[in-house]
Amino acid sequence: MALEKEIVAAFERIQSEVPGFIAASLVDLDSGMTLAVKSARPDFDLAAASAFNSEIVKQKHKTIRALGLSSILEDILLTLSDQLHLIKMVGNSSFIYLAADRATTNLAIMRTSVLRHGSGLV
Partner 1 sequence: MARIDPDRAQIVIRLVYDGPAKAGKTTSLRRLAGSLGVDMFSAPEEDGRTLYFDWLDYVGGLYEGMPIRCQVLSAPGQQVLESRRRLLLESADAVVFVADSRPERAGENGRAYAALHEIAESHEVPIGIVIQANKRDLPDAVSLDELRDALGGGFSVAMTEAVADRGEGVRETFVLGVRLALDRVRALRSDGTLVALAPEFENGAQLLASMMTAESGHAIEWSAGASPARTGEGAGAALANDASSHPRPSDASIPPGLVWPPVQGRAVVHEAARDAIDLRGDESGSWNGVSTSGRWTMHSSSGAAFHDVEHGREALIAWARWHTAASSRLSSGRAIVLAPSGEGEWRLWQIVHASQTLRDHCRDVVHLAGPAAGEKLFDIFELYSQAFEALVSSGLVDDIALDTVAISEHGTPVYAGHCQWGAGAPPARSDGDGDASAKHRSIIERDLLAALRADLAATPEGLSDLLAGIEAAAERRGQLHVAQSLRQGLLNN
Question: What are the residues binding partner 1 (CB under 8 A)?
Answer: 1, 3-5, 28-36, 47, 50-52, 54-55, 65, 68, 70, 91-94
Is 18 or 27 the residue whose CB approaches partner 1 more closely? Answer: 27
To partner 1, the closest distance from the beta carbon of 52 in angstroms equals 7
Q: How many C-beta atoms surround the C-beta of residue 58 within 10 A? A: 13
| Residue 6 host element (H or E) | helix 4-17
Distance CA 36, CA 27 (A): 8
> 99 with 23: CB under 8 angstroms?
yes
Nearest to 50 by CA among 8, 2, 98, 18: 98
Is 18 or 95 the residue whose CB approaches partner 1 more closely? Answer: 95
Is 81 or 92 the residue whose CB approaches partner 1 more closely? Answer: 92
DSSP annotation of 89: E
To partner 1, the closest distance from the beta carbon of 103 in angstroms equals 29
To partner 1, the closest distance from the beta carbon of 122 in angstroms equals 8
Bridge partners for 52 per DSSP:
none
Q: How many C-beta atoms surround the C-beta of residue 29 within 10 A? A: 19
To partner 1, the closest distance from the beta carbon of 71 in angstroms equals 10
